[in-house]
Structure 1
Amino acid sequence: MKRILSLTILVFAGMLLFNACKKDENPRIPALERVPLPYLTKDTSADVLIQDPATFKGKFNVDVFFKSDAKPKKMDVVVILNGDVTNIKTLKADVTAFPTAIDVTANDLAGLFGKTAADIQTGDAFTVGADVTTNDGFVVPAFRNDSAEAESYGGDAQNYDGASLTIQYKKVCPLDVNGLVGSFTMDDPQFWGGAYPVTTTLSGNELTLHNWIEVPTATLKMTIDEKTQTVTVAKQLTLADGYGYHNWTTVGSGDIDACSNSITLKLTNTVDEGSFGTATMTMHK
């Protein structure tokens, strides 16, 4: 049975351990292999969410994370549906050039699992990874189906700044930005400590929230990205003076749920007197 190898950083750590003791003192230490770390990224010029399966056209790149590291013999691009690692399908085998761009449609993804684009339901998520084969023939799978851990790569791989071992294409409700306009409730237990009413107005792709922190004249401006169904809150002064503090400033981002026309925000709030830290809150009907 072939050994399932971990990523380069774990192998490197193992090499240090190996050098600290003699092989004949611990014969159970296996031979070590250097394994390239895959790097999968979406091409944001194409679709990044499945809003309409009939028209979805995605594109992503398969590459290695460490450009100067040893290249693999090949990578096989594989897909799982809704996290089911017992049913792994191959989208594209024998990728040998890095980077390689791969185009994909909803029919391509659904067809791997005996479905059509019309069968894709809201909430369905296709996760794409890459099985790595080294030049010595060792295979490191993107997903494992023989343990509780779905992914074969250790946590250290995910912690690299900018690492991307997998990507996901998820079916979401189509976004109608006009559904984000009107009267809402802001649920804010972490920062404000409760819920309060807000209203929103729209100008182009800028959504303005009124009655921020329960001050009628305070506003919070959010830039909507319809393709990714996210909002960006650029650093801004939301209130000059209020509640005994001065120069209320907010910065952060958020995710839109187009099915419920709600926005979950992660914001950092500061005043001249200090910072309130980062808090998560939800604007909903």
Structure 2
Amino acid sequence: MKTIQNILLFTFLAALAYSCTKNDGATPVPVSKVSIPKIVKKSGDVAIDVTDFDNFSANFEVGLLFPDDERPTKLDVVIRKNGDANNVKVFKADVTTFPTSFTLTGSDIVSLFGTPAVLNDNYDIGLDVYMKDGNKYQAYPAVGIGYGSGVVNLDGSSVSIQYSAICKYNPDLYAGDFEVVEDEFQDTAPGDIITLTKIDDTHFSYNYPSLGGMTNQLL
């Protein structure tokens, strides 16, 4: 009888020890909720013309992808230059009205980054999101993806916009008198003046002085 009791006691203690040490899985990680911001270009310039930088002006709108979802306490409009997460500036802080529009100008870029845009510079505009639980979600974190993976694939998602510095084609720059410096074909001589006349935005005509004023057309 004592033997049976000892076996039952051992079985009970073993079961108790197993129930205290069994791993039922990893401790659940708390899930934080973030409002997905939305930013879109509205009007004005779609790129930065470096030949007319001072007149650059672009209007964009910031808001939420799901307006009826939980709203953040505020948004910061931030600008990242040339994809560098260490070169992000706050353009507009503490935005609490969504949607709302802003205008970015050439002088704003100089104020934020110290210099005008040069050819091939890129300026990304995004939104830092502050939620009611105290969490902040950066548009351009140094590590990881802002707002979590997969957000950019949501229908209608637009969490960032970009303005690139380009040399915009201006046909009026090519009309007028031009002096020949060198002509390897020797159709003209150094010092000759070639006059380009604008026909339309993509066509010009010109005269060869050494060919008796023959008119040619550039395509």
TM-score by length of 1: 0.49
- Out of 141, 144, 156, the position equivalent to 2:141 is 144
- Out of 48, 51, 55, the position equivalent to 1:50 is 48
Question: Partner of 1:74 in structure 2?
Answer: 74
Cα pair distance change 1:132/1:26, threshold 3 Å = farther
Q: Is 1:172 matched with 2:162?
A: no
CA RMSD of superposed structures (Å): 2.5
SS in 1 for 2:48: coil
Work out the CA distance in 2 between the residues paired with 1:178 and 1:56: 19
Question: Partner of 1:39 in structure 2?
Answer: 38
**Contact 2:34–2:147 under 8 Å retained in 1:** no
Higher Rg = 2
**Contact 1:109–1:126 under 8 Å retained in 2:** no
Give the CA deviation at 1:43: 1.1
Segments of 5+ residues of structure 1 without an aligned counterpart are 1-23, 180-202, 208-284
Cα pair distance change 1:28/1:89, threshold 3 Å = farther
Given residue 159 of structure 1, which amino acid in structure 2 is its aligned partner? Answer: N
Segments of 5+ residues of structure 2 without an aligned counterpart are 1-22, 174-198, 203-218
Question: Partner of 1:85 in structure 2?
Answer: 85
**What is the CA deviation profile of residues 234-284 of structure 1, one whole-angstrom value per residue up to 9, with x for unaligned ones?**
xxxxxxxxxxxxxxxxxxxxxxxxxxxxxxxxxxxxxxxxxxxxxxxxxxx
Percent of aligned pairs with the same residue?
34
SS in 2 for 1:76: strand
Structure with greater strand percent:
1
How many residues in Structure 1 have an aligned counterpart in Structure 2?
A: 154
Give the CA deviation at 1:177: 5.9
Cα pair distance change 1:33/1:153, threshold 3 Å = closer
SS in 1 for 2:155: coil
**Contact 1:61–1:101 under 8 Å retained in 2:** yes
> Which deviates more, 168-177 or 97-106?
168-177
Structure with larger RCO (C-alpha < 8 A, sep 6+): 2
**Contact 2:36–2:65 under 8 Å retained in 1:** yes
Give the CA deviation at 1:137: 1.1
Work out the CA distance in 1 between the residues paired with 2:151 and 2:171: 37
- Out of 91, 114, 120, the position equivalent to 1:123 is 120
